[in-house]
């Protein structure tokens, strides 16, 4: 069982590395899905642009939060 847990942790650290980044990416995809399926824009291109902006903003916010947390931990 210990090998399975270690393999899961190694896979998690390889792909994500941080829970905040994982949460930010999940939120980004959820927001993008909501925008694409719920927003009734006359232009499909406008929905794509809004979804892309939300996706990028969510990921950047997650990266900024992670970076801020890392910088705060170094000061201690």
For the chain, the structural domain boundaries read 17-75
Q: What is the pLDDT of residue 42?
A: 67
**pLDDT tens for residues 9-60?**
877 777 767 778 888 888 998 988 888 888 776 667 778 888 889 899 998 9
Q: In this structure, what DSSP letter does residue 16 have?
A: T
Q: What is d(CA 52, CA 57) in angstroms, rounded to the nearest whole number?
A: 8
Q: How far apart are CA 71 and CA 64, in angstroms?
A: 10
pLDDT at 4 over 80: yes
The residues near 63 (Cβ < 8 Å, ≥ 6 apart) are: 21, 24
pLDDT at 49: 86
The answer on pLDDT for 76 being more than 70 is no
Look at the pTM and tell me if it is higher than 0.75: no
Q: Say how far apart CA 65 and CA 36 lie, in whole Å.
A: 26
Q: What local confidence, expressed as pLDDT, does residue 56 receive?
A: 92
The whole-angstrom separation of Cα 9 and Cα 1 is 12
């Amino acid at each position: 069982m210990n090998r399975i847990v270690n393999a899961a942790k190694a896979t998690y650290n390889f792909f994500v590395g941080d829970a905040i980044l994982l949460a930010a990416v999940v939120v980004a995809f959820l927001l993008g899905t909501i925008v694409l399926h719920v927003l009734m824009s006359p232009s499909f291109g406008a929905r794509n642009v809004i979804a892309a902006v939300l996706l990028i903003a969510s990921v950047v916010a997650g990266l900024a939060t992670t970076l801020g947390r890392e910088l705060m931990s170094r000061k201690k």
